[in-house]
Amino acid sequence: MTILSAQTTGTQTTNASSLTAIPALSLTLPEGVQVSALVIVNLPNPYAQGNDYPGGIIGISVNGTVSPVQASFTYGIQNPPSTNRMPTTLVVAVPLTTQQQTIQAMWCGVRSSTVVIDSPATLSAII
């Protein structure tokens, strides 16, 4: 078993309306045949700001192609008076190929939200 990992530092934000790269959360998967990597994006303490049921979407891309498997969080109040932490984890099995593959963690806000991470977030792969 091999474990690969990348981690963010500092505060990062996005108000993108479509999935965009989370800086520092990228890995290169090795070549492989008839085996998959378990890819995990963990945002332990994200929150969103906005006035239309704010939230965020988390995803990955594999060699630049966005996976249809995504995770998300939203608030149940249209205009929250304060922000709650919304731990969010995405787990995706990525089949290895005869070529190395670049995995990039991605995120965006929903309904014009700004998503914030201010504690370390991780991208991991277990092979």
Q: Show pLDDT as tens, one digit a residue, over the chain (127 residues).
A: 999 999 999 999 999 999 999 999 999 999 999 999 999 999 999 999 999 999 999 999 999 999 999 999 999 999 998 889 999 999 999 999 999 999 999 999 999 999 999 999 999 999 9
**pLDDT at position 82, please?**
87
- Number of structural domains, the chain? 1
Q: What is the CATH number of the domain that holds 22?
A: 2.60.120.760
**pLDDT at position 66, please?**
98
Side-chain-side CA neighbours of 42 within 13 Å: the count stands at 12
**How far is 22 from 34, CA to CA, in rounded Å?**
29
The range of the structural domain enclosing residue 22 comes to: 3-126
pTM of the model: 0.95
**How far is 44 from 117, CA to CA, in rounded Å?**
9
